[in-house]
Structure 1
Amino acid sequence: MLAELAYILFIMAIATTIVWKACNYLEDACHDLALCYGLPDSVKGSTVMAISSSFPELVTIILAAGIHGDFELGLATIIGSAVFNILVIPGTSVLFRPGSLHAGRDVIYREAQFYLISVLIVMVTLSFAVIYQPSTEEPMSGTLSISMMILPLLFYVLYIYIQYQEVHDHKPEKNKPDATALKSWGKLIFSMVLVTMAVEVLIQMVIELGEMFSTPSYFWGATILAAATSIPDLFVSVKAAKRKCSTASLTNAFGSNIFDLLVVLPAGVIVAGAVGFNYPRIMPMMMFLLFATVTFLVLARSGSELTNNNGKILLLIYVGFIIWMGMEYIGVAHPIEVY
């Protein structure tokens, strides 16, 4: 068993590295294409760059729901990735730069609060699915339909509109792309194929871990798979923090989470059609995500900056999340009854 576990972890480490490297190429290609076609900053930041950093999560939920028939694995990965982004990314970023991580007005009053509303939108959508489209297969289960995805998607359109209003009077500098449009498209497609193949390997390894330890696959999705798909966002934010770009370091995490919740989740439902989920399994993770978001806002609002001690608190909370997940699904602790 130890040899098989070591093999699985080794394969996952290789696949995670491929995801990280491929996402770097994907980000560069998206940046060059945005320059080639003269996209405004609002569109580039809210869609093009968000897609590049969130593409692993997008592929995860599409493959999990469409090919493996396990929508909850993809959903748990999105939620776990959001928890990782809101706790680990700012917590790690502040430790890799001298001094505090400044959280300006744009971060606190626009990005973070809009992200908090996005979390609530998803929680309301999941609750509506249980109330209005209950599933007869399991107790307290619901069915997410394509029509229910209209609310999150419309809210993302509102997010783009707000971003546009913030910068529509700003005249960006005219920079030439590093490559031609054709070369950038080729780089983009190649990177997307690499990410898709690596994520498929990660999903298969996660399913094997679930079978090996007799645990639900979505437990590994919310922890191991979520962290693996969030590595690109982590490195982008840490590099921005080292360059003393505090706002970019934090908004990258928020923008990625907003895209995951409001676009990636609906994409998985649209690809798979109507999908069922178990409310008591998913909602505790959403409640923890809400708690993590509020905690970040409280810490960042104090002095409009994150200190090293704040970063350590965020990282400790994430460790608590992993411990709680492990205790919940191995039966040591039951904050709620899982059906």
Structure 2
Amino acid sequence: MPNEVEPTDEEQVSTIGPIVSVLALVTLGICYAGGWEVGFLVSSVVVISILIWQACDPFADAAQWIGQRFELPGSVRGATLDAVASSMPELFSGLFFVIVALTSVDPGDPKALEAAGAEGYASTIATCAGSAVYNMILIPAFCALVISFYRQSRPTIDIDDEVITRDGVWFVGCNLVLVVFLFQDAVTWWMAVVLLGLYAVYVYHLFHDAQVYRVKVRAIQRHLEKVGEDATDVTVIEAVKAEGYRVSRVTAIRSIDAHAEGELGIEEEEQTRTAGVFFGMFDVPLNGRSAWAIIVCSTLVSALACYFLVESTYQAAEVLSVPAFFVAVIIAAAASSVPDTLLAIGAAMRGDDSGAVSNAFGSNIFDICVCLSIPLLVNSYLLGWEPVSLLQDGHPASGLVGLRVLLVVLTISTLGIMWHKRQLTRTKALVLCGSYVLFIAYAVLGSLGLLDF
């Protein structure tokens, strides 16, 4: 009997995707026909999240092609083009929350405009902050759970120190700056400029690290080729130190082992030649014209999907008689994080454990520094550059106080879990999922008025 060829991961995804989409559309139709408004809104969000996923997938391929074409370092491309690809939903959702809120009131009524601006930007904060919590907790957890079953030979997510000491620390720093801003009674345009400036420094840091990494690798290569089998971790450290840099003993030992196996060097990426569309079933050849055409089309589709996501969020808040803030922090945040989740799981399944986690951190930094800043600038402009209030009836916006505290607590606790043995196991993944359940419980209890912060 001939051996059967097992389907690849891509083929499985291309099969599962359409099936899930059909089920979501069928559920949407049943809820609509049955007049079940809540079910219709929830299934609408599922369909919208699938549409966002399919818009971001070809965008990511085209962005990677453009980055390779201009020879951008992988770390810089990841923090810019890849981050835009995965964070487009948060950016557009934030913009539409602000625009929809401000255009729904009388432009000649200053008090109504101020209240609408506060409500719209509070929903933007909820979406981006909720997405940050989702990315920080659930994406690493999902990756660890998938790998614990998928990769039996090494069923854990192993994290490089650099991911935590660089990306993790940057995320904590940006988070603290955001929390300081959110403890004010109002946010202003210059705060957006500060956050955008922080992001520019972060990108420069990544670029500098990429250059230093190349220098270190070349120095180690020259030393190992010269010394050969007589090389030790001490001699490697001294050789790199002579170039003005430092490497750890662990890195030196790994470099010697990699050189012995012929794997030490700067890996050349495989050129991205096509963009997968419609669950990867079809490939579009990439060139100068097609890449930019895909960028434009994907952006328009994502923007349209995010507009309906915002409308669904407001409708769900109205149907459930709860503040839009709490609906945004759960539904809009989760729906907009679908691309990040799938990209990270794909990276982990390819063996890039650190890349899966660092992509989540990089996306979070982009969410905080860019996806909150641009809507704030738009909001400030539409209000005549007046400050955007974070108060409602003289008190902090509903849910904002608790969100500020939870952001700090969950960030520090998650980094602590990752730092322990620099590894994520199935048990740790379940603990992370439990912490996200607590976050959801906060949002639900807050929406019911059982928590007064």
Q: Report the TM-score, using the length of structure 2 for normalisation.
A: 0.68
Q: Which residue of 2 aligns with 1:77?
A: 127
SS in 1 for 2:186: strand
Asked if residue 34 in structure 1 is aligned to residue 70 in structure 2, the reply is no
Deviations 1:120-148 (A, max 9, x none): 01111223xx2xxxxxxxxxxx2222112
1:174 to 1:332, Cα distance in 2 relative to 1, 3 A: closer
Counting only pairs closer than 5 Å after superposition, residues 26-175 of structure 1 correspond to structure 2 as 26-69=59-102, 70-98=120-148, 99-127=155-183, 130=184, 142-169=185-212, 170=214, 173=268
- Looking at structure 2, the residues matched to 37 and 165 of structure 1 have their Cα atoms a distance apart, in angstroms, of 17
The 5 Å alignment of 1:1-339 reads 3-69=36-102, 70-98=120-148, 99-127=155-183, 130=184, 142-169=185-212, 170=214, 173=268, 176-178=271-273, 179-273=286-380, 274-278=387-391, 279=396, 281-334=399-452, 336=453
Distance in 2 between residues matched to 1:328 and 1:272, nearest whole Å: 26
Return the alpha-carbon distance in structure 2 between the equivalents of residues 324 and 75 of structure 1. Answer: 16
Following superposition, the deviation at residue 9 of structure 1 comes to: 1.9
In structure 2, the residue matched to 1:137 is none
User: In structure 2, what is the Cα distance between the partners aligned to 1:177 and 1:36?
Assistant: 10
C-alpha distance in 2 between matches for 1:13 and 1:318: 20
Q: Which amino acid aligns with 1:324?
A: Y
For the residue of structure 2 that corresponds to 1:68, the secondary structure is: helix
The TM-score normalised by the length of structure 1 is 0.90
1:228-255 per-position Cα deviation (integer Å, ceiling 9, x unaligned):
0001101111111222211011001100
Q: Is the 8 A contact 2:142 2:429 kept in 1?
A: yes
**Cα deviations across residues 279-311 of structure 1 (Å, max 9, x unaligned)?**
353232122121111111111111111111110
CA distance in 1, matches of 2:71, 2:207: 15
- Deviation for aligned residue 1:175: 5.3
Give, as a single letter, the amino acid of the residue that structure 1 aligns with 2:268: E
SS in structure 2 of the partner of residue 16 of structure 1: helix
CA RMSD of aligned residues (A): 1.7
- Separation (CA, whole Å) in 2 of partners of 1:114 and 1:198: 30
Shift in CA distance, 174/14, structure 1 to aligned 2, threshold 3 Å: closer
Which residue does 2:10 correspond to in 1? none
8 A contact 2:182–2:404 mirrored in 1: no
Q: Relative to structure 2, which stretch is displaced further, 11-20 or 220-229?
A: 11-20
- Distance in structure 1 (CA, Å) of the matches to 2:441 and 2:359: 27
The one-letter amino acid paired with 1:237 is A
Distance in 2 (CA, whole Å) between partners of 1:301 and 1:90 is 13
| Deviation sequence 1:166-217 (CA, Å, 0-9, x none) | 0125377375441112110000110011111111111111111111111011
- Identity among equivalent pairs (%): 25
Q: Is the 8 A contact 2:56 2:339 kept in 1?
A: yes
> Which residue is 1:139 aligned to?
none
* Moved >6 Å (runs of 4+): none
Structure with higher Rg: it is 2
Structure 1: distance between partners of 2:269 and 2:331 = 41
For the residue of structure 1 that corresponds to 2:337, the secondary structure is helix
Gaps of 5+ in 2: 1-33, 103-119, 149-154, 215-265, 274-285, 381-386
Please say if residues 95 and 378 of structure 2, whose CA atoms lie closer than 8 Å, have aligned partners that are also in contact.
yes
Distance, in Å, in 1 between the alignment partners of 2:295 and 2:427 is 39
Cα distance in 2 for residues equivalent to 1:320 and 1:42? 33
Per-residue deviation, residues 21-67 of structure 1 (Å, max 9, x unmatched): 11111111111111222223243111111111111000011111123
C-alpha contact (below 8 Å) 1:237/1:248 kept by paired residues: yes
> Which whole-Å CA distance do the structure 2 matches of 1:2 and 1:287 have between them?
39
Contact 2:61 2:272 in 1 (8 A): no
The alignment of Structure 1 onto Structure 2 pairs a total of residues equal to: 322
**Separation (CA, whole Å) in 1 of partners of 2:316 and 2:159:** 39
Amino acid paired to 2:302: V
